[in-house]
Each structure stands twice: as C-alpha cells, then as structure tokens.
Amino acid sequence: AQKVTQAQTEISVVEKEDVTLDCVYETRDTTYYLFWYKQPPSGELVFLIRRNSFDEQNEISGRYSWNFQKSTSSFNFTITASQVVDSAVYFCALRGGTNAGKSTFGDGTTLTVKP
Amino acid sequence: EPEVTQTPSHQVTQMGQEVILRCVPISNHLYFYWYRQILGQKVEFLVSFYNNEISEKSEIFDDQFSVERPDGSNFTLKIRSTKLEDSAMYFCASREGRRGEQYFGPGTRLTVT
C-alpha cells in the first residue's frame, strides 16, 4: 500500500519569507516516483517536479527547491522569497513503479502568502 | 506542447441521471487514468486503463462507474445514476510508458443537484 502524508494543513507566510512544505511517504515498491503539484483556485493541477526513487539529487528551479531524503522517506518542497502568486494548495504525490502506476496524493497543504 | 483535454469543463446534472465525462489523452500515450477530487479534499484515484482494459480500480469505482476508450482517441468515464456525493472535480490523466510522466487534464467539475 502507498501512503503520502502532508502534515501541514495550512501555512501562512508574509511575502518574501521562505517556506518549506513537508511530505513523507510510504511504499513497498523499490522503484517509485514522487511529485509535487500546485493547485491554484482555478482548480487545475499544475505539475512542478518529478523525482525518481533512484535519483536522490536535490533540485533547484528558480525560487523552488526540493529535498529528497530516501533514508527518512521525505520529499520536502521549499519556496524561497515567497510571492502572493504562490498562494495555492500544494499536493505531494507518489506513483509506484508497476504498470498500472496509479498516483497516491497527500491531503495537500494550503499556502497563503500575504503581501 | 501536447496536452490532455477534458469536456465539458463544468457539468450540472440531477440526481439519478447518467453522465459521461470525456477526455482526449495525449495521442501516443498508453496508460489512462481517472481521478476524483471532492471539494476541499485530496485527489483520489478511481481507475487505470491499459491495453483496452481496466488495470486497477479503487473502492470508489463501484458498479455505477464505467470507462471506455471507444475510438482510439477518447477516454470516457460514465456514471450511470449520479448521487449527490458524486459532486467533485474529475481529472483525466495519461502516460506514455511505464516510466513516463503522467499528464493531467484541466478537470471537469461535476455538480449533482
């Protein structure tokens, strides 16, 4: 069984603050994929990043960075110098390496960035 | 850039009516999915489809639900007799290969009154 836990239900920060969204996962698959999605108020799921289980290299993309720690089964997401436009619900997701490969989502973290 | 499309964007129906949600996956993709998101909740897996058959389905996907790929381009989700609790955003997704990226459509918001 797969499980994704996003312990932070809501986070509120002031613009320009750094913020880290936590994600902890459980899976029995040896090969799996981790994702972060952003869901703005309009409702669509915006893909942010994918990480393969065999690649623990951390990644930075502009103000976004991701810290994948296989030893602690965590895949945390940091936004540096947050902006109002970053306000959204953020979902962490896990997909197993099997053929069916369904994605299991966490409950989401609602991030509010205040001006 | 290729994308998954879904129609309609919003559908309102009365309880007990049948609805069909339509999706056009990316053309060379082989794996297809439906997910559901009740308002304010997380995205939940409904069903996966590969090689013209269901690969896996969740407990949510009961006899009221069915999926079909009628013509090689569309991928549909049918709910036979809608209930109030079927009100949700329904996302279609497709994936090219086993290790490929899963692309989500923009969703169809279903409102059952």
- Report the residue of chain A nearest B56, measured CA to CA: A100
B110/B15 Cα distance (integer angstroms): 11
Mutation pick from A4, A10, A48, A99 vs chain B, by most beta carbons of B within 10 Å, is A99
Size of chain B in residues? 113
Query: What is the rounded average pLDDT of the residues A55-67?
Result: 87
- Give B17→chain A minimum CA distance, Å: 25
Query: What is the rounded average pLDDT of the residues B100-107?
Result: 90
**What pLDDT, in 10s, does the model give residues B25-68?**
999 899 999 999 999 999 999 999 998 999 999 999 999 999 99
Q: Residue A83: its pLDDT value, please?
A: 97
A77/A57 Cα distance (integer angstroms): 14
SS3 B31: strand
B 80-109 → A contacts, CB under 8 A: 89, 91, 93, 95, 98-99, 101-104, 106-107, 109
Q: Is the pLDDT of residue A99 over 70?
A: no
Per-residue pLDDT band at B107 (split at 50, 70, 90): very high
Select from B31, B33, B42 the Cβ nearest to the Cβ of A107.
B42
A64/A49 Cα distance (integer angstroms): 10
Q: Is the pLDDT of residue A97 over 90?
A: no
Q: Are A108 and B101 a contacting pair at CB < 8 A?
A: no
A 59-78 → B contacts, CB under 8 A: none
Select from A44, A103, A104 the Cβ nearest to the Cβ of B102.
A103
Report chain B residues whose CB lies below 8 A from the CB of A37.
Answer: 104
Q: Is the pLDDT of residue B84 over 80?
A: yes
Residue B14 in tokens: 């009365």
A84/A19 Cα distance (integer angstroms): 13
Report chain A residues whose CB lies below 8 A from the CB of B40.
Answer: none
Residues 6+ apart with CB under 8 A from A46: A37, A38, A39, A40
**What pLDDT, in 10s, does the model give residues A21-51?**
999 999 998 889 999 999 999 999 998 998 9
* Residue B72 falls in which region: left (phi positive, over 0), alpha (psi -120 to 50) or beta: left
Q: Whole-angstrom distance between the N-terminal and C-terminal Cα of chain B?
A: 37
